Structure 1
Amino acid sequence: MGTLSKNTIYFRQLNENFFTKYRGIDEFLKKNARGHGIMIMDYLDLLVAVPLRSSLKPYMKKQQFIFPYKVCNKGGKRCLKGMDFSKLIIMSEEDLQGSVGFVFQDDCEKQYYIDNYSKIVNRLGNYIKRYKRLCYQIQEGIQPSITQLRLYRYSTIRNFHESLGIHLSKESFILTLQERGLLGSK
């Protein structure tokens, strides 16, 4: 694919190798035909893939981890389309080898994300920074609120502590969720 540029969003359908590599991580979305918005975050120079989702529940439009596009009808049901930060993957450029451009059914959706690139990057950066702050609190023995924890309860972000420079282990984060009654025991 060549070198990726900052301040750009790429829409790719990732290949089978990508899904094989990441399939074992907690909370990973396994639908191979799913498109991803891929961007290099100025924050820590991370290459981040955010899945495009088309069957979210409409009430999720206000969730901090969703960048909503619009509510539409799908198979007789109302569904929300949008980018889901909670299912992000921090990846390397080699993960893009063999990927193909994602073809949107609605060209307006693609343009919407391109037009709102700065907002997407800002919200995604805030999502990551809040998570890092939350992990630091847990590490320092500060009890986080249920509201703070709920935002990351089903997130893939806990699989990328090393890339994010987080010293708290993933297992400690999961234990905190379990202790607060937000996850069952494994």
Structure 2
Amino acid sequence: MKIRLLTEAAYNRIIILKETMSKKDRGYGVIPIKIKNITFAIPFRSNMAHKHGFKTIFHNGVWNGVDYSKAIIITEDDLQPKAFKLRSEAEYQKVKNNKDKIQRQFEKYVNDYVSQAKLGKLPNLQRFGYTTLINYHEEFGVGDSSI
């Protein structure tokens, strides 16, 4: 399983999008995941205060994890070639051992969002209120990009 950082060019391109994480000096490790012909980068978070992701370890009173709601669409060139090292081996092992589960959960998250958006519904605010997927209606074939 690849865990990488985004290139500076990719980061500069995505921080202007709605709901993206924008702490430039910090650098986020991401897991690239492909769904159909679209490559997503799902970031690691050090404070997963919601359930729209995969929780990894409990650290300093908060859950760390992989945040599905902040995923972005990328190309392979947007990833730095050098591996990103997580703060703990336990977190890496939990992600590695659950890569298929993460793939399935993330695909369901994306598919549920797209299904709602294609019906012309405002996606469920509790589940999708702060999602970055709002930026990708054209890629998902959703007619109204203002949803």
Given the two structures, how large is their TM-score scaled by the length of structure 1?
Answer: 0.72
Letter of the 2:131 counterpart: S
Q: Give the match for residue 95 of structure 2.
A: 113
SS of equivalent residue, structure 1 residue 103: coil
Q: Give the match for residue 128 of structure 1.
A: 110
1:36 is the counterpart of 2:23: no
1:49 is the counterpart of 2:46: no
Counterpart contact for 1:13–1:102, Cα < 8 Å: yes
Question: What is the rounded CA distance, in whole Å, between the counterparts of 1:35 and 1:80 in structure 2?
Answer: 16
Q: Give the match for residue 133 of structure 2.
A: 157
> Which protein, 1 or 2, shows the higher relative CO under an 8 Å CA cutoff with sep ≥ 6?
2
Q: Deviations over 1:30-71 (max 9, x none)?
A: 234211111222xx22211000001233xx3xx2x1211122
- Which ranges of 4 or more aligned residues in structure 1 deviate by more than 2 Å? none
Any unmatched runs of 5+ in structure 1? Answer: 1-8, 174-186
Letter of the 2:103 counterpart: V
Structure with max Cα Rg: 1
Query: 1:8-157 counterparts in 2 under 5 A?
Result: 9-32=1-24, 33-41=27-35, 44-57=36-49, 60=50, 63=51, 65-73=52-60, 78-96=61-79, 98-138=80-120, 148-157=124-133
RMSD of aligned Cα (Å):
1.7
Question: Counting helix residues as a fraction of each chain, which structure ranks higher?
Answer: 1
Given the two structures, how large is their TM-score scaled by the length of structure 2?
Answer: 0.90
| 1:144/1:90 CA distance change after superposition, 3 Å | closer
Identity of aligned residues (%): 26
